[in-house]
């Protein structure tokens, strides 16, 4: 088992050992690489605190994790092999011990965020259809719920394939078989022959979760080729722990790839998304022209800061599985505390019971509350229909207490008018 709780000293020792295994710009003869350690006028390499700051030490040493190391291994870039090994271990931890993949069955890398990771999936499947099926761009479509992240529109635009959003039920926020089949039939009439689908493991606005089996059944009924990607950019470090019966992991043979974001629930620095895909798929994103990169490049971003992978590895090893489950359960309890008050006050809302997002009907929420607590609207350009709150570690206790107090007071004042 790779994922277990470690002491601060054990984590520090591991990271420093990895840095020792890397080639370092200040101690090795490195002439051919267009990179270096961070600027010494701004980032002091001899600061005393770095002896006890493994992430900052890694950040300053500036290892480049270009490529996909679960795929290339020893054949990849060898300058930063030590920290790359931590990234490989991280990918195994997340894919196998959180998302239930068979051992050594998944490739992946730490991406700058969920947006790129989602687009990486679309890129791979588009290239697969082109290479294996002779598909043209205009024959490939992307099915996703209307609540999905905007990255699917962005990816379809970049890749010159067709976005195919499907409306969801206004109350349950779920996709229905009839709507899916209607959209597929409509797409077929437009000349779409090959499909990529997204199943949400928590939408950004509602925390709603798609059923991938309904997606698969709709494609099977329409007799069209399809691949399913799961967007767990928000829910990837929550939903697998709150719903052991999740269909959105690698136990489901219809799920080929998954996105997660560590810079949301895991509280890692921004720039720490994770892209995971089953073996034998990553090569569809190979850039053959990247000849000067050992092992080629398989990612959209190219060069990547290895410190970001180290930060995720450190956080997971600090908590361990049990500690992380307890952390998530405390957020679920706090979220339920808020929904209990909403029901008491008669404020309509949507919440997936396995998530820490609550979306309230905008007409029932006092404007003073939305402004004071910086709630997020479903539409900042028009008239909001929903206001969203996300229960996070920094909101537990005092922030939620004050929110509930203000909501009761202001809602009561509105009711008495």
Q: Convert the pLDDT of each residue in 116-143 to its tens digit.
A: 999 999 999 999 999 999 999 999 999 9
The H or E element spanning position 44 is none
Average pLDDT, the chain: 93
Enter the pTM of the model: 0.94
CB atoms within 10 A of CB 3: 20
With a CB cutoff of 8 Å and minimum separation 6, the contacts of 335 are 351, 355, 356, 357, 358, 391
Which candidate, 333, 328, 363, places its Cα nearest to that of 348? 363
How, if at all, do strands 357-361 and 349-350 pair? antiparallel
User: Which has the higher per-residue pLDDT, 351 or 64?
Assistant: 351
Task: Quote the distance between the C-alpha of residue 58 and its chain's center.
Answer: 23
Average pLDDT over residues 337-345: 96
CA distance linking residue 348 with residue 284, whole number of Å: 46
pLDDT tens digits along 208-262: 999 999 999 999 999 999 999 999 999 999 999 999 999 999 999 999 999 999 9
DSSP letter string, 2-26: ------HHHHHHHHHHHHHHS--TT
Diameter of the chain by CA atoms?
Answer: 76
- CATH 3.90.1150.10 corresponds to the domain 321-416: yes
Percent of the chain with pLDDT over 90: 82
368-408 per-position pLDDT tens digit: 999 999 999 998 888 999 999 999 999 988 999 999 999 99
State residue 290's pLDDT score: 59
Q: How far apart are CA 100 and CA 102, in angstroms?
A: 7
- Domain residue extents for the chain: 69-318, 321-416
Contact by Cβ (8 Å): 377, 384: yes
Topology at the third CATH level for domain 69-318: 3.40.640
pLDDT digits (tens, 9 = 90+) for 285-316: 988 775 556 667 889 898 899 999 999 999 99
CA angle, 73 then 76 then 82, to 5° = 70
Q: What is the pLDDT of residue 402?
A: 96
- Could you give the 3-state DSSP secondary structure of residue 292? coil
Please give the Cα distance from 245 to 68 (Å, whole number): 30
Residue with tokens 């043209």: 136
pLDDT digits over 45-73, tens only?
A: 888 899 999 999 999 999 999 889 999 87
């Amino acid at each position: 088992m790779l994922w277990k709780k470690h002491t601060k000293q054990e984590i520090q020792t591991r990271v420093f050992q990895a840095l020792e295994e890397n080639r370092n710009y200040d101690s090795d003869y490195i002439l051919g690489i267009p990179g270096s350690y961070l600027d010494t006028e701004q980032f002091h390499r001899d600061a005393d605190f770095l002896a006890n700051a493994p992430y900052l030490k890694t950040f300053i040493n500036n290892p480049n994790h270009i490529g996909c190391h679960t795929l290339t291994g020893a054949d990849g870039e060898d300058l930063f092999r030590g920290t790359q090994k931590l990234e490989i271990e991280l990918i195994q931890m997340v894919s196998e011990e959180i998302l239930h993949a068979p051992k050594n069955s998944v490739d992946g890398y730490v991406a700058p965020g969920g947006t790129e990771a989602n687009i990486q999936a679309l890129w791979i499947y588009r290239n697969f259809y082109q290479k294996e099926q002779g598909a043209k761009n205009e024959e490939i479509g992307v099915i996703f719920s209307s609540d999905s992240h905007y990255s699917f529109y962005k990816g379809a635009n970049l890749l010159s394939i067709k976005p195919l959003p499907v409306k969801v039920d206004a109350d349950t926020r779920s996709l229905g078989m009839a709507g899916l089949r209607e959209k597929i039939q409509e797409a077929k009439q437009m000349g779409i022959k090959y499909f990529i689908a997204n199943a949400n493991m928590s939408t950004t606005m509602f925390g709603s979760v798609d059923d991938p089996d309904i997606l698969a059944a709709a494609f099977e009924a329409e007799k069209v080729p399809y691949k399913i990607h799961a967007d767990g950019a928000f829910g990837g470090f929550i939903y697998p722990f709150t719903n052991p019966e999740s269909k959105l992991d690698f136990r489901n043979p219809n799920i080929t790839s998954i996105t997660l974001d560590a810079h949301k629930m895991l509280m890692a620095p921004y720039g720490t998304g994770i892209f995971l895909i089953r073996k034998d798929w990553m090569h569809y994103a190979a850039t053959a022209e990247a000849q000067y990169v050992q092992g080629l490049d398989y990612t959209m971003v190219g060069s990547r800061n290895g410190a970001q992978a180290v930060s995720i590895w450190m956080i997971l090893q600090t908590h361990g599985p049990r500690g992380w489950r307890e952390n998530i359960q405390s957020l679920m309890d706090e979220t339920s505390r808020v929904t209990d008050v909403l029901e008491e006050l008669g404020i309509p809302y949507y919440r997936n019971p396995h998530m820490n997002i609550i979306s309230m009907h905008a007409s029932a929420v006092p404007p003073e509350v939305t402004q004071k607590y910086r709630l997020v609207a479903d539409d900042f350009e028009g008239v909001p229909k929903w206001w969203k709150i996300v229960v996070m570690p920094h909101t537990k206790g005092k922030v939620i207490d004050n929110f509930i107090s203000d909501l009761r007071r202001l809602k009561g004042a509105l009711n008495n008018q």
